[in-house]
Amino acid sequence: MQEYYQRLSASEKQVLIWLGSKDVAVDISRKPRNLPLSQPELWKAVQSLKRRCLVEKVTESEASRFILQPVIKEFAKNLSQQVSG
């Protein structure tokens, strides 16, 4: 997984770690303040991660939300702890 992660772009890595910190599927129609990406960069990164099968799209009452696959989420949490620790 580490080798696969290394091939991601900087924005994809940021989004992966950010999504890994979320316990529920998130709506990306509004960019979170703590994510240093523009709205188009966020959308592009999420779409790229989705194409790579790292992010899952969940449709809830006509709204699209995104969440990481469980194994990817665990990897992102561990990675986040390594970066902050």
Q: Which domains does the chain have, with CATH numbers?
A: 2-84 (1.10.10.10)
pLDDT at residue number 8: 96
Indicate the pTM of the whole model. 0.87
pLDDT at residue number 56: 94
Half-sphere exposure of 61 (CA within 13 A, CB side): 1
The answer to whether the CB of 68 falls within 8 A of the CB of 56 is yes
Cα angle 17, 5, 44; round to 5:
65
pLDDT, tens only, 28-67: 888 888 899 999 999 999 999 999 999 999 987 778 899 9
pLDDT at residue number 2: 84
Q: How confident is the model at residue 79 (pLDDT cuts 50, 70, 90)?
A: confident
